[in-house]
């Protein structure tokens, strides 16, 4: 990895810490020491500008103000600091009635061949600001590898689901690769889900080009989605982008989804699984509603009330539901 690329990664890590809203005096000293280097200061400003261009800081004016206030409150100490922040922020698993919050620890950050790798466990989420200012939010049980090159910004989605908010850079396309499917973004916001068998791409804003394993290309407009695999790409279809992206707010939104599919989706966010033992007449019942991701008990309570189901057995690992 070049010195400039390494500096850009450090800048994106520091930006995540400094806009996290809970900054310790020690971290401020480390940040000041790192930013004394003019090249570091320039790299940090580039990440900040990329975020502002995408509207990120506009969404969090209070956090930006808190950061400035914290820098002013605590005097700098000479000699403090290190190359990158000592703290790592991730999005914690969602609890009953709680929104997504940033906490320390709980997910994996690794380097392999100088390529940042980010992952989450079942029920976890995390937000990362990449070296170019782009943001990627990882859903439950997800793993991505970042490979930024001079001519291309590439992210490999090994498994799971991620929402991308891409900083514009016409000279370096932003590409997401998932199981033979290639998604090329043109300054945009989109969701990619790799289920292993197929890859689902949903466009919220901007434009993306999706290429299947057979080389076929399809361009999406906002509000459209496709399913792709190594054999090709489906025709674009209109979809409810709010429902698809609702997981980014810590909630799951179902709109006319068969009960069996709703159960499968709920199970993605918890190690405690719901097992539906019901005939097709019940399993095919349509579900509409909103649930907190990871709140299995609330979902089970709703299913019991609406569809006449009962709990036939319950262990720390699963809850079995059958018609009453």
237 within some domain: yes
- The pLDDT score that the predictor gives to residue 169 is 87
191: confidence class by pLDDT, cuts 50, 70, 90: very high
Of 111 and 41, the structure prediction assigns the larger pLDDT to 41
Q: Stretch 228-233: mean pLDDT, rounded?
A: 91
Question: Which CATH number is 305's domain given?
Answer: 3.55.50.30
Q: Do 145 and 233 reside in the same domain of the chain?
A: yes
Of 115 and 58, the structure prediction assigns the larger pLDDT to 115
Number of residues in the chain: 324
Q: Do 208 and 277 reside in the same domain of the chain?
A: no
Q: Do 212 and 281 reside in the same domain of the chain?
A: no
Name the domain boundary from 187, 213, 242. 242
Q: Stretch 22-49: mean pLDDT, rounded?
A: 76
Q: Which helix (H) or strand (E) covers residue 18, if one does?
A: helix 3-18
d(CA 178, CA 17): 29
Q: Do 203 and 185 reside in the same domain of the chain?
A: yes
Contacts of 148 (CB under 8 A, 6+ apart): 5, 8, 130, 131, 132, 154, 172
pLDDT, tens digit, for every residue of 307-322? 899 999 999 999 999 9
Q: Do 187 and 287 reside in the same domain of the chain?
A: no
79 within some domain: no
Please say if the pLDDT value at position 244 is more than 60: yes
Please say if the pLDDT value at position 64 is more than 90: no
Q: Do 238 and 259 reside in the same domain of the chain?
A: no
pLDDT, tens digit, for every residue of 118-145? 999 999 999 998 988 899 999 999 999 9
171 within some domain: yes
Q: Do 208 and 316 reside in the same domain of the chain?
A: no
Q: Stretch 20-34: mean pLDDT, rounded?
A: 65
Q: Do 126 and 187 reside in the same domain of the chain?
A: yes
Please say if the pLDDT value at position 65 is more than 80: no
Q: Which helix (H) or strand (E) covers residue 262, if one does?
A: helix 259-267
The domain tally of the chain equals 3
Domain around 262? 250-323
d(CA 86, CA 259): 44
- The pLDDT score that the predictor gives to residue 86 is 52
Residue pair 164/189 in contact (Cβ under 8 Å)? The answer is: yes
Please say if the pLDDT value at position 269 is more than 80: yes
Q: Do 95 and 112 reside in the same domain of the chain?
A: yes
Is this prediction's pTM over 0.85? no
150: confidence class by pLDDT, cuts 50, 70, 90: confident
Q: Stretch 259-263: mean pLDDT, rounded?
A: 95
185 within some domain: yes
Q: Do 212 and 115 reside in the same domain of the chain?
A: yes
Question: Which CATH number is 175's domain given?
Answer: 2.60.120.1440
236 within some domain: yes
Q: Do 32 and 65 reside in the same domain of the chain?
A: yes
The whole-chain average pLDDT of the chain stands at 80
Name the domain boundary from 73, 102, 134. 73
Question: 273-276 and 89-91 as β-strands: parallel, antiparallel, unpaired?
Answer: unpaired
Per-residue b/e over 11-27, b at no fewer than 16 CB within 10 Å?
A: bbbbbbbbbbeebeeeb
Q: Stretch 190-219: mean pLDDT, rounded?
A: 93
190 within some domain: yes
Question: 153-165 and 143-148 as β-strands: parallel, antiparallel, unpaired?
Answer: antiparallel
- The pLDDT score that the predictor gives to residue 111 is 32
Q: Do 223 and 255 reside in the same domain of the chain?
A: no
**Segment among 61-70, 97-106, 184-193, 213-222 with least mean pLDDT:** 97-106
């Amino acid at each position: 990895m070049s010195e400039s690329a390494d500096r850009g990664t450090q800048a994106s890590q520091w930006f995540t810490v400094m806009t996290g809203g809970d900054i310790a005096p020690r971290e401020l000293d480390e940040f000041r020491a790192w930013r004394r280097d003019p090249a570091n200061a320039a790299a940090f400003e580039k990440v900040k500008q990329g975020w502002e261009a995408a509207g990120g800081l506009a969404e969090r004016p209070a956090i930006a103000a808190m950061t400035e206030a914290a820098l002013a409150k605590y005097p700098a100490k000479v000699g403090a600091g290190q190359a990158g922040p000592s703290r790592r922020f991730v999005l914690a698993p969602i609890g009953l009635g709680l929104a997504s919050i940033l906490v320390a620890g709980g997910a994996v950050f690794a380097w392999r061949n100088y390529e940042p790798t980010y992952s989450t466990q079942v029920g976890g989420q995390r937000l990362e600001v990449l070296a170019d200012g782009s943001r990627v939010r990882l859903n439950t049980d997800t793993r991505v590898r970042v490979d930024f090159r001079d001519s291309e910004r590439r992210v490999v989605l090994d498994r799971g689901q991620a929402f991308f908010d891409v900083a514009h850079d016409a000279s370096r396309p932003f590409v997401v690769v998932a199981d033979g499917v290639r998604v090329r973004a043109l300054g945009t916001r989109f969701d990619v889900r790799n289920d292993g068998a197929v890859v689902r791409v949903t466009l919220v804003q901007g434009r993306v080009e999706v290429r299947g394993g057979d080389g076929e290309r399809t361009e999406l407009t906002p509000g459209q989605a496709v399913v792709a695999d190594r054999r090709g790409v489906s025709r674009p279809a209109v979809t409810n982008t709010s429902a698809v992206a609702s997981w980014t707010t810590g909630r799951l939104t179902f709109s006319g989804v068969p009960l069996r599919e709703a159960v499968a989706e709920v199970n993605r966010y918890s190690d405690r699984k719901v097992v539906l033992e019901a005939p097709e007449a019940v399993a095919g019942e349509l579900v509409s509603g909103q649930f907190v991701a990871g709140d299995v008990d609330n979902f089970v309570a709703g299913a019991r009330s609406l569809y006449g189901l009962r709990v036939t057995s319950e262990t720390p690992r699963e809850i079995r539901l059958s018609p009453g």
